[in-house]
């Protein structure tokens, strides 16, 4: 029981840290969007997308694999083998960090020119030093997670984001006030990632020293049964065999964002001109990605806590329990993600106007946010496949989706412009989800909502339609009253969000999408929220 409680505690620590880190990442982009012009916003968004993709490839999914391998070796008291695996991972992190840093510095101007954003080269290069440390950080986090020291990863992530946000905003402000170009101001903001990596590295070193001290006091190495000295090449072969399909299956979002960074401006320039294409990509990459990054946070944090349970149930071939957990994971993701998607989509005008510097781009943000419902279901289904030991299936689905995104961007952009780029993303996420669920259905019989889709659709339409009406009324009141624009937009966004969230939850209860007899399967916090509302649900006898 204690082991289960420790595991749940660790999962919650990681989920909470991820939530805080992502919210800080969203917060960072708001003041930067105000300070940087269209060119600077596009350059900063491009540098972040390049950085995230390279970081994912450079670490190659090894942290997750390292965590699993270290945990298994320590459980068998094969400390010597576990430490050699960690040494091999650190060596890979050091080498990959040097290689990607050098390559990024050399090829940044070429890529920036290819993407139609020569001003982005300094911003991309400014992040290169951070890549010296981040692969090492990833290995350290994987090792400490394998040793069940979850707080090390969690606190290092939070420290990293705090330092990144503070220094990015400060450097950008200093450069803007000193008259630097938009490209170099964006580079200053990007350089904040270097300070973040240093802070995170210091935190991880502290926790590793603490762990080593605890090991010495416990005499862990003295009691070790040892184990043979495995050649490094064999360790690398084992790590890559396990990690490559995992990293590819988790590349969907950074790869899609990278495609947008690379091809949006070249695809839109022939019809709109370079200046307008750059401006629209700045909205897509800075504002749109910031707002669209909000709905997946809660859904992924909730569903992630169920993945280890799914893995355990599958290993024991406890199919009834597995069916319940897979159903619950998918259901929580959709039901918790949809109201946030709705609120931010129908309230995009007021949210955009309140947070950012101009009212432009609300329709882009609205459509981009709407696409995240498929992103949520895609990420959850991919995680479940990995939990079931089938990362190759997720890898194939994601690879096909990325290729489809690239092709559809070229097909749709000439006709629909920036909306064609977003539609291509939506199609890609939907197809990946469909392929994942198709395989999952063959492994375990489950249903997301089952025959309750009509009720779900009615709840969605009622909440979304009412929210849109509140948004329209709020706009009219703001236009015809002396209330300051920002204040009016804030209250409108708040009322829209509250209206959508409340009506959606009430609609789920009234239309029997969520049922009283199923409440015990939901997290306790959700049960407390829903139980009073169950009085609104029509009884079966009355139906």
Read off φ and ψ for residue 377, nearest 5 degrees.
-65, -35
Q: How far apart are CA 189 and CA 216, in angstroms?
A: 42
Which of 54-63, 204-213, 351-360, 440-449 holds the top average pLDDT?
A: 204-213
- In tens, the pLDDT along 400-439 reads 999 999 999 999 999 999 999 999 999 999 999 999 999 8
Comparing CA positions, the residue from 84, 391, 89, 436 lying closest to residue 239 is 89
Q: Are residues 495 and 377 in the same domain?
A: no
Beta carbons of 281 and 264 less than 8 angstroms apart = yes
- Looking at the structure of the chain, the number of domains it has is 3
Query: Which helix (H) or strand (E) is 80 found in, with range?
Result: helix 79-114
Residue 390, class by beta-carbon neighbours within 10 Å (0-12 exposed, 13-18 middle, 19+ buried)? buried
> pLDDT-based confidence at 1, cuts 50/70/90?
very low
For residue 308, pLDDT beyond 70? no
79 domain-assigned? yes
Token pair listed for 458: 């009615």
366 domain-assigned? yes
The pLDDT mean for the chain works out to: 82
State the pLDDT at residue 15.
Answer: 63
Q: Are residues 457 and 439 in the same domain?
A: no
354 domain-assigned? no
345 domain-assigned? no
Comparing CA positions, the residue from 449, 438, 436, 468 lying closest to residue 511 is 449
Comparing CA positions, the residue from 195, 207, 197 lying closest to residue 13 is 207
**Tokens 């009234």 belong to residue:** 510
Q: Are residues 108 and 83 in the same domain?
A: yes
Beta carbons of 151 and 304 less than 8 angstroms apart = no
Q: Are residues 439 and 463 in the same domain?
A: no
CA 132 from centroid of its chain's CA atoms: 23
Q: Summarize the confidence of residues 363-384 as an average pLDDT.
A: 89
Read off φ and ψ for residue 223, nearest 5 degrees.
-90, 0
Q: Are residues 489 and 370 in the same domain?
A: no
Q: Are residues 376 and 512 in the same domain?
A: no
Q: Are residues 233 and 366 in the same domain?
A: no
Q: What residue numbers bound the domain in which 404 lies? A: 255-264+280-340+361-448
State the pLDDT at residue 232.
Answer: 73
| pTM (predicted TM-score) | 0.79
222 domain-assigned? yes
Q: Are residues 37 and 171 in the same domain?
A: yes
Q: Are residues 46 and 159 in the same domain?
A: yes
State the pLDDT at residue 543.
Answer: 45
349 domain-assigned? no
- In tens, the pLDDT along 137-192 reads 888 888 887 777 777 878 888 888 889 889 999 999 999 889 888 889 989 999 98
346 domain-assigned? no
């Amino acid at each position: 029981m204690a082991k289960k409680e420790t595991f749940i505690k660790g999962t919650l620590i990681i989920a909470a840290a991820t939530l805080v880190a992502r919210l800080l990442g969203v917060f960072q982009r708001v003041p930067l969007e105000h300070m940087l012009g269209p060119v600077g916003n596009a350059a900063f968004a491009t540098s972040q997308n390049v950085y995230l993709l390279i970081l994912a490839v450079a670490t190659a999914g090894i942290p997750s694999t390292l965590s699993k391998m270290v945990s298994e070796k320590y459980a068998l008291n094969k400390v010597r083998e576990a430490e050699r695996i960690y040494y091999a991972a650190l060596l890979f992190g050091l080498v990959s960090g040097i290689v990607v840093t050098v390559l990024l510095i050399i090829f940044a101007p070429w890529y920036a020119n290819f993407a139609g954003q020569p001003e982005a080269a300094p911003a991309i290069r400014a992040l290169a030093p951070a890549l010296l440390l981040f692969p090492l950080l990833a290995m350290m986090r994987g090792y400490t997670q394998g040793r069940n020291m979850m707080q090390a990863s969690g606190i290092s992530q939070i420290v990293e984001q705090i330092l990144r946000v503070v220094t990015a905003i400060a450097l950008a402000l200093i450069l803007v006030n000193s008259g630097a170009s938009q490209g170099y101001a964006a580079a200053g903001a990007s350089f904040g990632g270097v300070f973040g990596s240093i802070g995170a590295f210091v935190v991880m070193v502290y926790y590793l020293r603490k762990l080593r001290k605890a090991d010495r006091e416990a005499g862990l190495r003295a009691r070790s049964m040892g184990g043979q000295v495995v050649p490094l090449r064999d360790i690398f072969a084992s790590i890559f065999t396990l990690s490559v399909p995992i990293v590819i299956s988790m590349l969907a979002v950074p790869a899609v964002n990278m495609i947008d960074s690379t091809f949006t401006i070249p695809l839109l320039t022939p019809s709109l001109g370079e200046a307008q294409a750059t401006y629209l990509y700045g909205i897509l990459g800075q504002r749109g990605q910031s707002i669209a990054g909000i709905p997946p946070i809660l859904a992924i944090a909730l569903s992630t806590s169920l993945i280890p349970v799914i893995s355990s149930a599958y290993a024991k071939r406890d199919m009834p329990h597995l069916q319940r957990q897979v159903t619950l994971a998918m259901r929580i993701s959709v039901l918790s993600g949809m109201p946030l998607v709705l609120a931010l989509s129908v309230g995009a005008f007021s949210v955009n106007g309140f947070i950012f510097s101009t009212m432009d781009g609300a329709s882009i943000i609205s459509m981009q946010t709407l696409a995240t419902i498929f992103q949520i279901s895609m990420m959850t289904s991919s995680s479940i496949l990995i939990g079931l030991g089938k990362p190759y299936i997720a890898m194939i689905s994601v690879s096909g989706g990325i290729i489809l995104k690239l092709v559809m961007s070229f097909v749709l952009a000439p006709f629909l412009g920036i909306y064609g780029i977003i539609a291509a993303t939506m199609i890609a996420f939907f197809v990946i989800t469909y392929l994942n669920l198709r395989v999952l259905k063959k492994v375990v019989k489950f249903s997301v909502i089952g025959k309750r889709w009509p009720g779900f659709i009615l709840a969605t339409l009622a909440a979304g339609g009412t929210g849109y009406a509140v948004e329209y009324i709020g706009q009219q009141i703001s236009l015809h009253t002396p209330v300051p624009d920002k204040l009016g937009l804030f209250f409108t966004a708040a009322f829209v969000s509250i209206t959508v969230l409340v009506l959606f939850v009430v609609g789920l209860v009234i239309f029997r999408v969520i049922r009283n007899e199923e409440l015990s399967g939901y997290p306790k916090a959700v049960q407390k929220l829903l139980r009073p509302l169950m009085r609104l649900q029509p009884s079966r006898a009355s139906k």
